[in-house]
Structure 1
Amino acid sequence: MTSKPDLTTLVNRLPQPPHPLMGRRPGAVALPDNIVCFQRRAASELNRPRRGRALHHRCVLILALRTAVTVCVDDRVLRLGAGEGLIVLPFQFHHYLHPQSESMLWLFVTFDLADTSQLASLRFKPFPLTPPVQGVATEFLAAYEQEGRESDLPALLLALLLARVRRLARTPRRAPLEPEASPGVVMQVNQLAQKGPERSGIKQIAHTLGISPSHLRARFRASCGVSIGRHLRRLRLEKACGLLRLTPNRVSEVAEQCGFNSIYHFSRAFRAAYGISPMQYRHADKR
């Protein structure tokens, strides 16, 4: 195996620049925000805090350090082995099955990202925890543990870690295992719901899919165990969480963007779901 060149070798390779004031420009970089890290050391902890399929507006980076577990994302089933990682994008159903053993060690990093299109190539695609990925992950976790809340270093290192992972997306994609029952219905509903409140009603979605509302309700409940009405309401609230965190929009504008008829109904639904008002949620990390 060829060893990596050291700093002295790399410096000696550098050519003279054609123009000393004109160099490389970075593309648009969206830094992760509102970062939360936690671990799971027992398989029985994986589907907590709530049993069943999780769904939220945040990105989830999973690094499986020890023990293989099946990860179900939307209608795909992926076996995530030790030494592999996975990105779960916003508004994707996900839960965990068939752990290789009860003892495990997985890292979870959840975060907000204003532009998730940069992660689209990682959808349903496990990646290996190569030495460069593990190295940056180690630096990131050390900074997350040691730096203060106002430090930019954890966000910068997480952005670097995601860039490392995106480079791995160029490798051939591993095929998922068998799809779950009712393949595609959850993804189709989510895609239609995210196009706007005017297209996210049960009747509108059923019409677009070419089935009756009653058939849509039955298929959706069979697929993920919850009613489609409850799911759509939760999607709207999760979208509101992202808008409150990532945009300066007024609460009334967020309510309208998420399909609520009034700020009163929006605030009541938000408090019932999360235990705090929309404004308290927006300022929760600024105390």
Structure 2
Amino acid sequence: MAFIGQISDVFPSQISDPKNYYEGTDLPNRIICSNVIVFERLTWKSLQQQHVANRMHHRYVLMRVLKSSGIVSVDGQNYQLDVGDALLVTPYQFHHYIEIESDPLRWLFITFELEQGQPALADLSYRRLQPDLQTHQLWGEVANLWSSEQGASRVELIPTLDRLLARLHVTTLRLPQQELEGATTGHGWIAQVESLIKRSVREGWTFEEVAQRAGFSERHLRERFERQMGLSLRAYRSQYQFQTAISLMRDAKCSLADVAELSGFNSQPVFTRFIRRMAGRTPRELCRQVREGRYEQSTELS
């Protein structure tokens, strides 16, 4: 092999003996991923419409901007992502995309489930991530391994993603505190309207009442919201109600009547029709699948 003559160049000049041959380095809660999917979005329309069709996500979503900056709203907080920036969205976080700079765009997505390592990934949520050179190289490795048609390469995919997430965790926690947050202060009216829509679920407000509290006419709010967000007020509220219902169903102590009421439905038949429309099954069927960890939408990616 050609590299044999220089093989020692990659090793330290000396490796000292361990103090104890039975106690080594260990990470009992290290990041371990499973069921990984990698894909990209190339237009604003496909990005937003795919998200709307998915309604909500039950997996981790790691996204990175490769071309055309934009804003991702996560639970009402807006994050400006420039080219090179990344963002981690955890399961059940309500997110959507606004003000994408221009088409064509290129946003890379890695979605996955987590076997262990939740605390480490919790440290990465609600933050704009700015990968360093080593992290950037790991991103490229994950994308190339996914694109490879060789089965052997796919075997390396998940361990490489584990390394990428671990590297993001380490580099992010090294940043000064003022650089960790990343939420933008602009687009205040969007955050206000999102908050009012969520309150409307609890309070039973109409969209006219939401508009009045936001200082708009209902027509103007509907038009401005859909133009800015890429989805209607009704679609946004339906997604939020569905997310709320799914989250509540995970709690075995919460009855379906409680789920319906806390999701903004005073009528069980109306709630049943809503769940059938959103999930294609009855509330009881959906609840059972959620609690057994079997609920997946076939289109669920981002």
| TM-score computed with the length of structure 1 as normaliser | 0.65
SS of 2:48's partner is coil
Aligned partners of 1:60 and 1:89 also within 8 Å: yes
Q: 2:169 aligns with which of 145, 155, 166?
A: 166
Could you say what secondary structure the match of 1:47 adopts?
Answer: helix
Give the partner amino acid of 1:108: F
Deviation digits for residues 85-133 of structure 1 (CA, Å, limit 9, x no counterpart): 1111222222222222211221011122255332222223222232211
- CA-to-aligned-CA distance 1:140-175 (integer Å, 9 cap, x gap): 2233334659x6532222111111111222212245
Instruction: State the distance in 1 between where 2:296 and 2:205 align.
Output: 40
Report deviation, 1:32.
Answer: 2.1
User: Structure 2 matches for 1:70-219, cutoff 5 A?
Assistant: 70-113=71-114, 116-145=118-147, 146=149, 148=151, 153-170=156-173, 171=175, 172-173=179-180, 174-178=182-186, 180-181=188-189, 183=191, 214=205, 218=210
SS at match of 2:135: helix
Comparing both structures, which one devotes a greater share of its residues to helix? 2
Alignment equivalent of 1:260, drawn from 243, 256, 266 = 256
User: Does the CA contact (< 8 Å) of 1:54 and 1:93 recur in 2?
Assistant: no
Distance across 1 between alignment mates of 2:196 and 2:155: 37
Indicate the residue corresponding to 2:43 in structure 1: 42
What is the alpha-carbon distance in structure 2 between the residues aligned to residue 188 and residue 148 of structure 1?
Answer: 49
Following superposition, which runs of at least 4 residues in structure 1 exceed 6 angstroms of deviation? 184-190, 219-224, 265-271
**Alignment-mate amino acid for residue 73 of structure 1:** V
RMSD after superposition: 4.5
Relative contact order (C-alpha < 8 Å, sep 6+): which is higher?
A: 2
**Residues 242 and 275, structure 2, Cα contact 8 Å, conserved in 1:** no
Letter in 2 for 1:11: P
Q: Give the letter aligned to residue 111 of structure 2.
A: T
Q: Give the Å deviation of 1:8.
A: 3.1
Structure 2 residue aligned with 1:197: none
The aligned residue for residue 20 of structure 1 is 21
8 Å Cα contact 1:63-1:85 kept in structure 2: yes
Number of corresponding residues: 248
The amino acid that maps onto 1:260 is: L
Cα pair distance change 1:35/1:22, threshold 3 Å: same
Taking only the aligned residue pairs, the percentage that are identical comes to 21
Distance between the aligned counterparts of 2:118 and 2:85, measured in 1?
21
CA 189–215 in structure 1, closer or farther in 2 if over 3 Å, else same:
closer
Change (3 A) 1:98 1:228: closer
Q: Partner residue of 2:278?
A: 273
Counterpart residue identity of residue 176, structure 1: T
Task: Compare CA radii of gyration and give the structure with the larger one.
Answer: 2
The structure-2 alpha-carbon separation of the partners of 1:46 and 1:27, relative to structure 1 and needing over 3 Å to count, comes to same
Provide the TM-score with structure 2 as the length reference. 0.63
- 1:194-236 per-residue CA deviation (whole Å, 9 max, x = no partner) reads xxxxxxxx66xxxxxxxx5549994799899348676334333
Q: 1:234 is matched with which residue?
A: 243
How far did residue 22 of structure 1 move?
Answer: 2.3
Q: Structure 1, unaligned stretches of length 5 or more?
A: 1-5, 191-201, 204-211, 241-253
Partner of 1:209: none
